Structure formats: structure tokens, C-alpha cells
Amino acid sequence: MANQTNTGNPHVDLAYRRKKNAEEMKHQVISFVLMIALTLIAFFAVGYNEFSHWFSVPFILLLAIVQVAFQLYYFMHMSHKGHELPSLFIYGGVLVAFVTVWAFMTVVWW
Amino acid sequence: MSTVARKKSLIWDYLTTVDHKKIAILYLIAGGFFFLVGGLEALFIRIQLAKPNNDFLVGGLYNQVLTMHGTTMIFFAAMPLVFAMMNAVVPIQIGARDVAFPFLNALGFWLFFFGGVFLNCSWFLGGAPDAGWTSYASLSLESPGHGIDFYVLGLQISGFGTLIGGINFLVTIINMRAPGMTYMRMPMFTWATFVTSALILFAFPPLTVGLIFMMMDRLFGGNFYHPAAGGNTIIWEHLFWIFGHPEVYILVLPAFGIFSEIFATFSRKRLFGYSSMVFATVLIGFLGFMVWAHHMFTVGMGPIANAIFAVATMAIAVPTGIKIFNWLFTMWGGNIRFTTPMMYAVAFIPSFVMGGVTGVMNAAAAADYQYHDSYFVVAHFHYVIVGGVVFALLAGAHYWWPKMFGKMLNETLGKITFWLFFIGFHLTFFIQHFLGLMGMPRRVFTYLPGQGFETGNMISTVGAFFMAAATIVLLINVIVTSVKGQKAEADAWGDGRTLEWAVASPPPEYNFAQTPLVRGLDAYWIEKMEGKKGLTPAEPLGDIHMPNSSILPFVISLGLFIAAFGFMYRTEASWGLAVGIIGLLITLGSMFLRSVIDDHGFHIHKEEVLEAEKGVKA
Ligand code: HEM
Ligand SMILES: [Cu+2]
């Protein structure tokens, strides 16, 4: 993979990779905890009667977007180098889908 | 040739192959067959319309033939023939030994094939679909019998195949390019395939969703489109066209790519404005998603929506125009050879421009209230699809035939085919513009005498027979060539510019004995200009790793084919549900086998490669 550099020196490599992996692991654990927290907040937003739907629906959508970002960038390593094309395609698809939905919301149906 | 491949029977070899060159041949044969079927249906339509009050093919049967003509031509003739060209050429053009996922490549073909066979089974099982190739929900939900179910399930199965094929080509082009083959050195046909595959990736899911909703409504008591039950038939129209407009570009961008190769080769010049061609292709692909509602101007979306979609649609004419000028400038000052492919390419320009002009006319929303659902629209889309896509497929077939089969098609017969087809095409469709403007509606099986439609329709029918004659000459050409054709050189036309012309015709199983080093656009031309015989290798000669062939893609697709029958007859036959489940089990079981069996492929050893290469050179 793109993140495994190779200096030719096994010792440096090993130490470097250890450190890298530990850091990676920390990120994963943090984002995992955050994701669980976000899920709980989502449940709470629905369960709590004081919030109107006009608040909780957009709010949950926002949480969903954050979750997707975590998923892609921390669990699926999109933050690493060598993911330019997947990003291009994902954002291209998001853009096309967004414009389509936007067209429906603004000119086609309302 | 590997020792493994040599021992198999021909049929088993093709049923199990994962070689992109053989899959190309499969696509060519299957797509060609469906092209003949769709063409026959077209002839029936034109015979019925030849004179007023005709009774050759009336009422419901006419609707079935009409629907099957459109559906077959778009999904089961044009699409697979485009895939045939892509499979035959793209991996070699980028200097690769195969596609990224050979197994998926075979799976894509077999899914398409069984989808097409399933759809055509409807003829023998109570009647074909009859709601038009667009299958608008307001018609299709009311259609009695199983015709529409055949449409829905058949397209769903083949749609999976197309999606798989598209993803495969994306990954292939991104990951498998030879050293030095940067994006801006890729041949134009490879670029077109790349953008087309991206369009497939984004356009087929909406169709899949639309078909699933329709399947629910027709087979499982759903009500997505049933207005009486709270659904909305217009949703289908949107989903269909969100897919449908990109689909027309999925067809025509590869056509543009094929012509770009042909213009450059037979003008003996570099393609004019290469980077603007790339830019235009990407831009067309992008804009293609912003215009779907131009098919729905008369639905009642309101003036604002109509105006916005009209302007967006007209914008597509700009990058298309860029391409037209670049082709003209490629020929300008070139050393032009009028071979059969070049004749199609030259004829394509005025033909396609006429289709583009009527497209912009249709895009003027206010005017489209007159054109919509008249023969004017029929004329428009046949000018772009036949004058663009079919011309390109015929041109590409002649151009790459020697590469695919190792023999040159006969040029005289090729030119006869061209002239018959060219004349027939314009005879058939030019007059339809005026029939439409005079008020002849689309999708009706007859008309009355005395409305001024007689002459025009008769001319149109005569033209159709010219195209039929052209097709027969082409078939004769294919037969004559395979019996006693002249053996093709590697650089079959003598003027090849791209990598596919550097390998033998037909290429060896592994394409390149040594992966080539690409030193610029038109990589092979550069080497030839420097007086070299072959390509500059990028690696030493060594063992070549190849994927094993497999029957599983065939079985996976067969399972879905069986399942579709089961679920379709679920409510009226006691065996329905059981057959449906058995079919799914066959599919899932073979997918399971694919996952658990470790398949490492095999190696062609260096000595074998050396020997094979010697045989070619000698
Ligand atoms: C300059 C480019 C183009 C423009 C502005 C354009 C515009 C349009 C418009 C506005 C319609 C709807 C007409 C109506 O139903 O009233 C239409 C129909 C159609 N166009 Fe185009 N078009 C263009 C290029 C193409 C290309 C390149 C293809 C295919 C390769 C194509 C295939 C079709 C088809 C199949 C239909 C009819 C669909 C149906 O209702 O069955 N068009 N076009
Ligand atoms: Cu369109």
C-alpha cells in the first residue's frame, strides 16, 4: 500500500511502521467511539419528545453525513495517499446526485 | 497458446473463457444476433406502415414488435456491440495483458446474454412487452399478461451485467496502463471508454431502482407507480430518463472514440486538438446528467423547469461541436485513404450533425410541444443513433475485424455495404422529419389515406429494405472472409498508430510478450517513425501469469435466468416459488464456490512465449 514506505533499512522501517500503526489504531478507536456516540445521539433525538421533526430529521441527516465521512476517511483509509481517483469518483457521484435532487426540490416539484 | 487452452473443445472454451479477446467475440456474435432480430422487427414495422390502412401487423402485436425493436436495439444490440469493441481493443490500447477482473468480465457478458434471451422468450410465452422501450408506468402497469414482466426482469439481469462491465473497464483503465501510458497519452477510444464506464456507473443504478419499483408493483403488490394507491407514475419517467439520457451518451461516446481513431489513422495525422477532445468528452459525460427532463417537456413540469432543462440541453451542443470541428481539422491537410471504415467516418459527420440540429430544435421546449411524440422525434433519434452509433459500430467492425479475427474483410463488399446502408438510412429517416412536422404521430400502427402521409411512408419503407440489403452483403462478406479471407498483418491497415496494431492479428492470449514502454500519444506510430519494428519493452521477458477459465459466470447468470421465470409465475403456478428459489440458490451457490475455491491462475513459461513469438515473426 501507499503508506508503507521502504527505506531499505529494516530497523527504521519497523520502528516507523510501529509508530504509524499505533497512531492509526488510535484514530480508529477514537472514531469508533465517536460513531457510537453519534448513533446514540441520533436515537436520543428521535426518542426525546421536546424536539420537533423539523429539527430531528435534518439533525439526523447531518449526523449521517459525519458518520459517512468517518467511515470513508478513517475506516476505509481515504485519508491516505493514493486515493485521489476514488475521491474524484465519490465526489463526482455526490455532485451529480446532489444536482439531481436539488433540481427536483427547486424546479421540478415545487 | 497455452497448453491448457489447446485441449478444450471450442464450445467449452467459449463458455468458460475469461480472455477479453474471446469475450469480445462473444459480445460481437450475441450483439450481432440481436441486431438482426431487432432489424427484422424494424422491417415488419416498416412493412405495416408502407401504405395506409395496412393490416400486416395490427393493434397489440404491432405494439409488441415496436417495443421489442426499441428495447432490443438499445439494450441488446447497441450496448453489447459497444462492449465488443471495448473488450477487443481497450486492454491492448493501454498495453495491458487483460482487464482488471477477467472473471467479472465473463460474468458481465453472460448476465447480458441471459437477460436478452429471457426478454425474447416472451414471444413464445404469451406475448412480448408492449409499452414502448420507455415502458411508461401508466401504460405498463395496465398491460395484461407477462410481457412487461419479461421486460423488467430481463433488463434487470442484463443491467447488472452492464454495470459490472462498466466498473471493470474503469478499474482496468485506472490500474492497468503500461508504464508511460499517462492519462493524456491514452488513445481517444480508451478515453471514451473511460468516460462511458463512469456514465454506466452513475446511470444504471437509477434504472435498477426504477425497475425494482416496477417489479414490486407488477409482481409483489407494490404501489410505487399506482396513482390509485397513492403512487405516482411520473416517478418512473424521471428515473427512466435520469438513466435514459446518459444512456444515449453511453452509446455515442464510444462511437465518437471509434471515429477519432479512424480519422487519425486514415488521415495519417495525429488527432487534431487531442486535449480539447478529452475535455469535450468529459464535459459531455458530465452535462449528460443534467438534462434528463428534456424528454418530459410535455409532462407539465412548468415553464421554469422546462426553460432550465432546455438551456442545459442546448449547452451539450457546444462540446459536441468542438468534436465535430476537431474531426474536420484532423482530415484537413491529411493524406486521406478512403477505406470502408473511413467512408463511414466521413458519412457520419453530416449525418450526426443533422441529428444534433434536430436535437437542439427538440430542446426548445415551446417548439417541442409540436415535435413531441411525432415522427420528427423518431427522425431525430435515428439520425443520432444510426448515423452516430450504428455507423460507428459498422466502421469499428470493419476497422478492427483483422485484429479480432486475423483476416481482412473484403473492401469491395465493405463499400457496397456502406453505400447501401448510407442511402437506405437517409431514405428511411430523412423523410420522417417531414412526416412528423405534417402531424404523423409516433407509435401508431396505421394512418388513413388522404392525409398526405402515403408517399413519405412508402419512401421510408423502401429505405429500410436498402439497409436490410446492406446487412445481407455484410453477412456475405463475413462468410467469404472467414472461408478464404486474406491473412492480416499485425499492422493490418499499414497506418496503425495505437498499441493494438503492434501485436499480432489476432493477438496472442497474453497480448504482449513484454509489457511495452509508452513514449507518447500514438505510441506505435512514434516507434515506427523512429524506424523501429516493434515496441520498446518495459520489462525483461519472463513467465506470464494468466487467469484460469471458469464456467461459474455462466452458471451464476443461468441461475438468475431460472429464478426470473420462477418469480414471474409465482402466483399462478405451484412450481413458481420453488423454481425461483432454486434459481437463486444456483446463483448464490456458485458465488459461494467462487469465494471459497482458491484460484491462482497459471503461468505461461518464458520458453513457450519465445516459441509463440517466433511463430508470429516467421
Ligand atoms: C445535441 C445533442 C442532442 C440534443 C440537444 C438532444 C435533444 C433531444 C430532445 C429534446 C429529445 C426529446 C424529444 C421529445 O421526445 O419530444 C430527444 C429525444 C431523443 N434523443 Fe436526443 N438529443 C441530442 C443528442 C442525442 C444523441 C447523441 C442520442 C443518441 C445517441 C439521442 C437519442 C435520443 C433518443 C433515443 C430520443 C427519444 C427517446 C424516446 O422518447 O423514445 N439524442 N433528444
Ligand atoms: Cu435526452
pLDDT given at position B615 = 66
Q: Is residue B122 within 8 Å of residue B128, measured between CB atoms?
A: yes
Tell me, yes or no, if A89 comes closer than 8 A to chain B by beta carbon.
Answer: yes
pLDDT given at position A75 = 79
**How far away, in angstroms, is B296 Cα from ligand 2 center?**
10
B302/A107 touch (CB, cutoff 8 Å), yes or no: yes
Reported as a pLDDT band with limits 50, 70 and 90, residue A7 is: low
For residue B616, pLDDT beyond 80: no
> How far is the alpha carbon of B304 from chain A, nearest alpha carbon, in Å?
6
B491-501 per-residue burial string, b: 16 or more CB within 10 A, e: under 16 = bbbebbbbbbb
pLDDT digits (tens, 9 = 90+) for A48-104: 888 888 888 889 999 998 888 888 888 777 777 888 888 899 999 999 999 999 999
Q: Is residue B368 part of a domain?
A: yes
Q: Is residue B575 part of a domain?
A: no
pLDDT digits (tens, 9 = 90+) for B199-215: 999 999 999 999 999 99
Cβ of B22 less than 6 Å from ligand 1 = no
CATH number of the domain that residue B466 is part of: 1.20.210.10
Cβ of B253 less than 6 Å from ligand 1 = no
B202/A93 touch (CB, cutoff 8 Å), yes or no: yes
For residue B3, pLDDT beyond 70: no
Q: What CA–CA distance (Å, rounded) separates B116 from B157?
A: 9
Average pLDDT of every residue of chain B: 95
Q: Is residue B581 part of a domain?
A: no
Q: Which of B170, B242, B301 sits opposite A100 (nearest CB)?
A: B242
Tell me, yes or no, if B174 comes closer than 8 A to chain A by beta carbon.
Answer: yes
Domain of residue B27: give its range.
2-550+599-617
Alpha helices in B268-290 (DSSP H): 274-287
A99: which chain B residues are within 8 Å (Cβ-Cβ)?
289-290
Count of domains forming chain B: 1
Reported as a pLDDT band with limits 50, 70 and 90, residue B6 is: low
pLDDT given at position A46 = 86
Q: From B303, B306, B305, select the one nearest A105 (Cα to Cα).
A: B305
Cβ of B134 less than 6 Å from ligand 1 = yes
Q: Which of A96, A104, A107 sits opposite B202 (nearest CB)?
A: A96
For residue B245, pLDDT beyond 60: yes
How much of chain B, in percent, has pLDDT values that exceed 70? 98
| Sequence spans of domains, chain A | 1-79, 81-110
Q: Is residue B39 part of a domain?
A: yes
What cell numbers appear for B495 in the block? Answer: 497506418
Tell me, yes or no, if A93 comes closer than 8 A to chain B by beta carbon.
Answer: yes
How many C-alpha atoms does B50 have within 13 Å on its Cβ side? 14
> Which 52-81 residues of chain A touch chain B by CB within 8 A?
none
For residue B2, pLDDT beyond 50: no
Q: Is residue B571 part of a domain?
A: no
> How far is the alpha carbon of A64 from chain B, nearest alpha carbon, in Å?
21
Tell me, yes or no, if A1 comes closer than 8 A to chain B by beta carbon.
Answer: no
pLDDT given at position B225 = 96
B603 strand-pairing partners: B545
A82: which chain B residues are within 8 Å (Cβ-Cβ)?
none
The single-letter code of the amino acid at B566 is G
pLDDT digits (tens, 9 = 90+) for B378-402: 999 999 999 999 999 999 999 999 9
Residues 6+ apart with CB under 8 A from B87: B20, B21, B23, B24, B27, B99, B105
The residue with cell 442546448 is B314
**How far away, in angstroms, is B336 Cα from ligand 1 center?**
32
For residue B140, pLDDT beyond 70: yes
Q: Is residue B573 part of a domain?
A: no
pLDDT given at position A73 = 83
